[in-house]
Amino acid sequence: MRTIKGPAIFLAQFAGDAAPFNSFDAICGWAANYGYKGVQIPTWVGSLIDLEKAATSKTYADELVGTAAKHGIAITELSTHLQGQLVAAHPVYDTMLDGFAPASVHGNPKARQEWAVQQLMWAAKASKNLGLTEHATFSGALAWPFLYPFPQRPAGLVEEAFDELARRWTPILNAMDENGVDLCYEIHPGEDLHDGVTYEMFLERVNNHPRANLLYDPSHFVLQQLDYLDYIDIYHERIKMFHVKDAEFNPTGRQGVYGGYQSWINRAGRFRSLGDGQVDFASVFSKMAQYDFAGWAVLEWECAIKHPEDGAREGAEFIAAHIIRVTEKAFDDFAAAGTDKAANRKMLGLS
């Protein structure tokens, strides 16, 4: 078994226009001050990384690594969540999703999708240049508007959506493979890959591609009432990344899983800062250690109540307290008799 690495922090919810959140150097210093040992970089934030340059210049990639290292920080992974969403986007979301891409492709879904694919291709090369072996993304969604089976879906609709999803992602998965990178899909509402069943549907269509792996985030499973501990038992061989995020689900006579179109603070299911929600992280970390998870425990802060800097400070302490330093020996080694094969056969009555 290996001890999980961490604590680390996903920078997406913290990057901004004001110091220390407006440059990679400054935000690494801020994270280190709270006790973080790693940062996960959102590649759509230009003040933190130039993705194309990281893909095409090993010198620039080395400079990023060096900038983090001077603060005692490692770059854990890159993220293309927003770009991944654009690899497969249903037209109903076109106007909303234009904001995820540069103005040059707004109003042009085909050009926007091509831009997104290029971003993923660069992410594969950038990850290699940075010495990274995992990458985080979303799958995007073609079938999501038809999630609930009423009005009744026409036969073959979902199957065609997943066939197309596999066609779009297979070249990207191959590029990740060429660069030695596991592509980790965050299983998430709003994506066609939103639970174990949909992941399996996709995995079958990409011929069990060895790079089609998972980012585990239990908070999304609390909100959809999926057993997040059993999920680890089922998919641990494919779980290559870990977002540590808390959530709570408090259904009432007025609302449940779907939330009644309410704001985050008024939903039955909502994300919380670490320790303020309902996720059993003691069991989560135990299972991750049991299955020899080799990656980082990365805070993703999303909370409608607590201030982000308080969430970040408390999150570092929370993760550090939950990381299990795995044992190098069995607890009952002291009682070992040191017997040999002959003695064992004698005990079994075989000699």
Distance CA(63)–CA(86), nearest Å, equals 29
Distance CA(262)–CA(94), nearest Å, equals 22
pLDDT tens digits, one per residue of 138-151: 999 999 999 999 99
Count of Cβ atoms closer than 10 Å to residue 342 Cβ: 10
pLDDT tens digits, one per residue of 1-58: 899 999 999 999 999 999 999 999 999 999 999 999 999 999 999 999 999 999 999 9
Q: Give the strand pairing for 269-272 and 74-80.
A: unpaired
Are the beta carbons of 55 and 126 closer than 8 angstroms? Answer: yes
Distance CA(238)–CA(94), nearest Å, equals 31
Distance CA(187)–CA(213), nearest Å, equals 10
Sequence-distant (6+) residues with CB within 8 A of 341 are none
The crossing angle, in degrees rounded to 10, of helices 281-290 and 308-322 is 50
Measured in residues, the chain has a length of 351
Q: Give the strand pairing for 269-272 and 246-249.
A: antiparallel
Are the beta carbons of 308 and 273 closer than 8 angstroms? Answer: no
What DSSP element (H or E) covers 94? helix 94-97
86: three-class secondary structure by DSSP: helix
Q: Where are the alpha helices (DSSP H) in 131-207?
A: 157-178, 196-205
Q: What is the pLDDT along the chain (351 residues), one digit of tens a residue?
A: 899 999 999 999 999 999 999 999 999 999 999 999 999 999 999 999 999 999 999 999 999 999 999 999 999 999 999 999 999 999 999 999 999 999 999 999 999 999 999 999 999 999 999 999 999 999 999 999 999 999 999 999 999 999 999 999 999 999 999 999 999 999 999 999 999 999 999 999 999 999 999 999 999 999 999 999 999 999 999 999 999 999 999 999 999 999 999 999 999 999 999 999 999 999 999 999 999 999 999 999 999 999 999 999 999 999 999 999 998 887 777 767 777 888 888 889 997
Sequence-distant (6+) residues with CB within 8 A of 106 are 98, 112
Beta strands in 202-351 (DSSP E): 212-216, 239-244, 246-249, 269-272, 296-299
